[in-house]
Amino acid sequence: MHTKKSSEDVEDRRAQLCISLRTLSVASKTLGTARGNLEEANNLLSGENGCGCLKNITQKLRMRQQYMVTQVAWVYPVRPLDEKSPDHKTGYTPSIIKTSNAESILPDGSQKRPLAILGLQLPKPTAKKTGYFGDRTDFQKPSTVLGYVAHAVSLIASYLNVPLRYPLRFGGSRSYILDHSPLVEPSSMTSVVSSVSPSTSMRTMEFPLFFDGQETTRSAYAIFLLNKDIEQLLNYIGAESLGPRHVLANLKQLTTIIQSQQYISTD
3-state helix, strand, coil in the chain (%, to 5): 50, 10, 35
| Per-residue pLDDT tens over the stretch 159-193 | 999 999 999 998 888 899 998 876 554 444 444 44
Residue 236 pLDDT greater than 90, yes or no: yes
**Average pLDDT in the 191-214 region?**
66
Domains of the chain from N-terminus onward: 52-185+201-264 (1.10.418)
| Per-residue pLDDT tens over the stretch 83-138 | 655 544 433 333 434 343 333 334 444 456 788 898 888 876 544 444 444 555 66
Closest of 248, 243, 251 to residue 115, by C-alpha: 248
Looking at residue 58, its pLDDT comes to: 86
Q: Distance (Å, rounded) from C-alpha 115 to C-alpha 106?
A: 12
Q: Distance (Å, rounded) from C-alpha 59 to C-alpha 56?
A: 5
Looking at residue 182, its pLDDT comes to: 63
Residue 217 pLDDT greater than 80, yes or no: yes
Closest of 101, 102, 79, 77 to residue 92, by C-alpha: 79
| Per-residue pLDDT tens over the stretch 18-61 | 888 888 888 988 998 898 888 887 777 766 666 777 788 888 99
| Per-residue pLDDT tens over the stretch 62-77 | 999 999 999 999 999 9
Closest of 241, 237, 240, 239 to residue 266, by C-alpha: 237
Q: Distance (Å, rounded) from C-alpha 118 to C-alpha 100?
A: 29
Closest of 135, 136, 154 to residue 146, by C-alpha: 154
| More confident call, 49 vs 212 | 212
Looking at residue 181, its pLDDT comes to: 74
Looking at residue 92, its pLDDT comes to: 37
Q: Which residues contact 14 (CB under 8 A, 6 or more apart)?
A: none
Q: Distance (Å, rounded) from C-alpha 26 to C-alpha 32?
A: 10
Q: Which residues contact 250 (CB under 8 A, 6 or more apart)?
A: 227, 230, 231, 234, 241, 242, 243
Looking at residue 234, its pLDDT comes to: 94
The answer to whether the CB of 113 falls within 8 A of the CB of 80 is: yes
Q: Which of 6-10, 78-82, 242-246, 248-252 has the lowest mean pLDDT?
A: 6-10
Looking at residue 172, its pLDDT comes to: 87
Q: Distance (Å, rounded) from C-alpha 42 to C-alpha 44?
A: 5
Q: Distance (Å, rounded) from C-alpha 235 to C-alpha 24?
A: 52
Tell me what the pLDDT averaged over the chain comes to. 77
Question: Cα 217 from chain centroid?
Answer: 28
| Per-residue pLDDT tens over the stretch 136-153 | 566 688 889 999 999 999
